[in-house]
Structure 1
């Protein structure tokens, strides 16, 4: 049996191919590649050393010549819109008409805090987080009542806009919400490229209460969103909400 085993082993070694030893060949190829890179680098350095140095362009620029004539005058407070929007935002709101009663729902001294704004939504907790993420800066609010059923509220909301143009995005969302209500008619506001008014012809009804009709207006300019609410126990004419929207847009 040992002889048979030995013959079998010899036959296997004779008929089979011995494994290829790759280690030494691979090392030789890698070494040749490294020597080639080094040789190429040395040759390039010697060629560059024999050349004349290339002149670099000057880092300085030619002196700018100021245009002739007097320097332009700075904008006046009436012309510089930032003076208005960074100042007292309440001054941009329409005044309460004579004979009307001041609203009791307005914020403290005409200002609405972040919490006040959140409370005006159906889901205050979610609205609070959304306003924080949306870079809410401040809001001014005013309103009045005439008789026992007619009321007006005007709100100006300002955003910081350090990351995104929040005012236009918020106005788009308000427009979508207002226009989505059934029985709604809408018109653009003259004197603005984005202001819209909405008259909702279907009233809100609750048992024991008078029906409540509503109309709204939405606009934005710069970092401010304007929203006007009007409600009454009878249908609201287009002319009424349009007049408020046009006068408020002009003050922005």
Structure 2
């Protein structure tokens, strides 16, 4: 209008221009965006299909091939016959006298060296009727508690024992200590032999017991003390599942041949 100072088409400065209605403007046409990793997935699927197909083809080829014969054994003569031997050529089974296990499974007391004529029975290792329990046998060790545990862990089966007195002061004790396995019997024998050479024991390595494989016999130096028989001899060896422990105490010196002879007789009864 005239007089308002405005030119045609201009809006007053104090009045903002009116905006048109809001509306979304579509994006310009173009290619659709791709999802990330789609090519990698397609390649992985193709690889799996290829490996599976190759494996299947390989199995099929292998299955169609004839089996490859194994090379002959490089053993011209086997240790056992291809067929059972005829009855007239088969070896006879061991008799009870030859089979050591049959004998030791019986009354173990019968394998003890018999008491000499004129000798008097003497308690051995707390034995009752020729048998000694684990506690009684372990009581004679330096540490009875440790010995009891050790023998129990080794699966001690039983102990047959015999003792006698000859003359005025000679005492003889023999123990057949049987375990559930020969290895345990051997271990027990070796443990006893390991400490006998100590200075507070025999103080020497002893002598090998012929024919035993691992047996030894020892002479101890004289010991002084009230009520103690000063001289001692000992033999320790293992035969099968039995460990043998022989002790002689006397007021007079003991010869090597005496302990060796007794040990050899006991070894013979177990062989």
1:196–1:65 CA distance, 2 compared to 1 (3 A): closer
Match of 1:129 among 145, 149, 152: 149
1:245–1:46 CA distance, 2 compared to 1 (3 A): closer
2:51 alignment counterpart: 37
CA distance in 2, matches of 1:200, 1:38: 81
Q: Displacement, 1:238?
A: 1.2
After superposition, where does 1:155-166 map in structure 2 within 5 Å?
155-161=175-181, 165-166=183-184
After superposition, where does 1:4-19 map in structure 2 within 5 Å?
none
1:182–1:53 CA distance, 2 compared to 1 (3 A): closer
1:26–1:216 CA distance, 2 compared to 1 (3 A): farther
TM-score by length of 2: 0.71
CA distance in 2, matches of 1:245, 1:198: 11
2:239 alignment counterpart: 221
1:84 alignment counterpart: 103
CA distance in 2, matches of 1:167, 1:33: 65
CA distance in 1, matches of 2:192, 2:128: 24
Equivalent residue of 1:94, what SS? coil
Cα deviations across residues 150-196 of structure 1 (Å, max 9, x unaligned)? Answer: 211000011111xx711112111111122233543611223332221
CA contact (8 A) 1:156 1:224 kept: yes
Superposition misfits of 4+ residues, deviation over 6 angstroms: none
> Which segments of 5 or more consecutive residues in structure 2 lack a partner in the other structure?
1-34, 71-81
Cα deviations across residues 123-173 of structure 1 (Å, max 9, x unaligned)? Answer: 222222211210211110001113443211000011111xx7111121111
Cα deviations across residues 193-234 of structure 1 (Å, max 9, x unaligned)? Answer: 22211001242x33x435522110011111111110111223
Match of 1:69 among 88, 103, 111: 88
CA distance in 2, matches of 1:136, 1:183: 28
Higher share in strand: 1
CA contact (8 A) 2:196 2:205 kept: no
Cα deviations across residues 21-69 of structure 1 (Å, max 9, x unaligned)? Answer: 99666545533432221231343355457x3665999xxxxx8353473
After superposition, where does 1:163-174 map in structure 2 within 5 Å?
165-174=183-192
CA contact (8 A) 2:159 2:177 kept: yes
> Which segments of 5 or more consecutive residues in structure 1 lack a partner in the other structure?
1-20, 58-62
State whether structure 2 residue 154 is matched by structure 1 residue 140.
no
CA contact (8 A) 1:185 1:200 kept: no
CA distance in 1, matches of 2:98, 2:122: 32
CA distance in 2, matches of 1:24, 1:200: 92
TM-score by length of 1: 0.75
Q: What RMSD in Å do the two structures reach over aligned CA positions?
A: 2.9
Higher share in helix: 1
